[in-house]
Each structure stands twice: as C-alpha cells, then as structure tokens.
Amino acid sequence: MAERVVLVVDGNSLLHRGYHALAHTGTRTLGGEPAWAVRGLLSQLVHAVDRVGATHVVVGMDDPDRSLRRERHPTYKAQRPDKLPTLVSQLELAGRVLRQVGVPVVVPPGLEADDVLASVAARVGAQGGRTVVATSDRDAFALISSTTSVLRIINGGVEASPVLTPQRLEIMLGVRPEQYPDFAALRGDPSDNLPGVYGVGPKTAARLLSAFGGAERAFADLAEVRELLGDAVAARMAADGAREAWARNREVMAMHTDLDVDTGAALPLPADEVRHAYAHCRLPGTTTRALRALCGVDPPAQPVPEETLAWDPRAEWRAQRPERTFPPLPEKAADPQLTLF
C-alpha cells in the first residue's frame, strides 16, 4: 500500500501572499468577482501537490468572525488594519471554489488555520501517515517532527521553497522542533503584536536553549545563565516582565492539536469540477497541470467549449492587445557589388 501523504494548506497564509503579490493582475472570475488571491492559492496548491507527492489534501482557514486568542489577549494582532473588502470577498470565494472541487476546508470556531494544521498533523501521525504543511508562517515550525515537514512558501513560489525537516530546522535556527515554541516565545513575533523578552533575539534564544534545553530551566537558574552566557543575557532574563512575556507568548502561540478535523480528500479529485473551477478563476495556463496533479488525467483533446465558459479568452486578448506599428525601413542605395552567391 502506498504511503499516505496529507498536504494540509494554510489557506489564509497563501491567500494573503497571493493578494499582495498578484494585485497588479486584477484577475476576476468569469462572473466579475475579484480573484487574484484565489488564483494564487489554486496555482500554489497544484504545485505543492505535485512537489510533495500528496495523496490527500485539506485546507485550514481562520474563523473570520471570532478569535478566542484575541478575547483572552486583546493586544494580539491589534495593530493590524481591517481587511480590505476585496480580500474578505476572496477569502470567502476560496472556500467556495475549493469545496466545489472536493477539497475539505476546515474553519474551526474561534480558532485559526494554525490549529487545523496542528490537529491534522497530530491525527495523521497517530494513524501512521505523513503530513506536509504548506504555509508561509513560521509558527508551523513547531509542528515539525519525524512524521511532519513544512513546505515554507517564500518568494519564488513552491519550487523555490524549502521543505523543512527536524534536521534542516536545526541547521537553520540552531534549535530542535520541540524547542521551537520556547525559541519563538523568547524572540517574540512583531507581526502578531507579541513582544518577546527584551534584548533576546534569535541567536541569544538559540544559545539559551542549547545550554539549558528549555526556557523554564533558564529562568529558574539565572546564576547559571550568568556563568554560561554572561551578565548581559542574565540581566535580560531577570528583567521585569521578561518571564511574563515568555509565558504569555507560549500560551498565545500554542496550537490546538485535538480538533475533530477532516484529514483530507483522497486524490484524484473529479476532473470536470477541477476543469471548470480553474476556468472560472481564469487559470487556463494551470489547468493542464491541475488535471494531472489533482485528478491524475491528461486534459481532453478539445478544450472546455467557450460557450460553456461564457468567455472567449482569445477575443479578450485581441481586444486588449495594443495596435502594433513599425517604423519604415531606411532606404538604401543599391550596391552593385552585392550578390546573392
């Protein structure tokens, strides 16, 4: 039996990246809805499935209406502006399109996509499968294990993105996956409005964890911190609010691993649904790869009829194509010595 490989996608993370990276395209669906972020998500989904050899796929998304973390800690993400209407509409559109093609979309009440990623990874690992988490968010590094790797989406897309394993994480940051929650809590996360321990950056955090194994031990033995890492580091760890900042961050950053989640739709997906969904979001260049990666079939010899799409891409291209003009060729005097042979 083939190994079960579940690709769990951080829908909010990839949609936000696509929203900003592809805004210049102004892509809209055949019905006129903004769709450039959805276009980015669908394209990345296909490339990720292809790259990691996924057998199942599921997408997690944040609850748009309520945040239990923010209710408990009102400053969490408080600096972020409200989402623009075109982003809000595409978050909703993405869920509709993904469900249309058969991909489960999990939106946990009051929680976030991170909690879906963590719960899927825990459940699949317990069942003997392997999970690949596709996200641009470094919080997922805490999920890395012998059964879970992270496809960290960076600039350049899926092909340019690293797949992080326990060994690669340790090479990159100097900490093991089980130490990452302490590492992140000490460092803090400005993007979530979570200050860390003042003066403790990634390098110092890694040195502390290398010496003590965990932050709790370091806070409990500041004399040993002074002996091993010096007076400056010991003073930062002993400062007012340092331990409280670390403890708050550990609590807020902790992901739920016990949600009752769908662990993914088994590939292949229905080809007709995929073909029409990708056409609806104007992804003709990705449809062939989508059919092969998601459905295991080659595209039909004839494309989807244009009357079905209610859109003739060639006509639109011709209408938008600027008229090309060429300068006249310069006149040259005949050269009597010029011959063809």
3-state secondary structure (DSSP) of residue 149: strand
3-state secondary structure (DSSP) of residue 134: strand
**pTM, rounded to two decimals:** 0.87
d(CA 157, CA 152): 10
**Which position has the token pair 């909703």?**
92
d(CA 49, CA 45): 6
Q: What is the pLDDT of residue 338?
A: 38
Give the domain ranges of the chain.
5-176+256-266, 179-253
Classify residue 178 as left (phi > 0), alpha (psi -120 to 50) or beta.
alpha
Residue 330 has pLDDT above 90, yes or no: no
Tens of pLDDT along 2-20? 799 999 999 999 999 999 9
Q: Which CATH superfamily is domain 179-253 in?
A: 5' to 3' exonuclease, C-terminal subdomain (1.10.150.20)
Work out the mean pLDDT of the chain and round it to a whole number: 90
Contact (CB, 8 A) for 147 and 20: no
Q: What is the pLDDT of residue 305?
A: 46
Highest CATH level, class, for 5-176+256-266: alpha beta
5-176+256-266 shares its CATH topology with 179-253: no
Pairing relationship of beta strands 56-60 and 265-266 according to DSSP bridges: antiparallel
Position 193: which residue type? Answer: N
Residue 337 has pLDDT above 70, yes or no: no
Worst-scoring range by mean pLDDT, 61-70, 205-214, 228-237, 316-325? 316-325
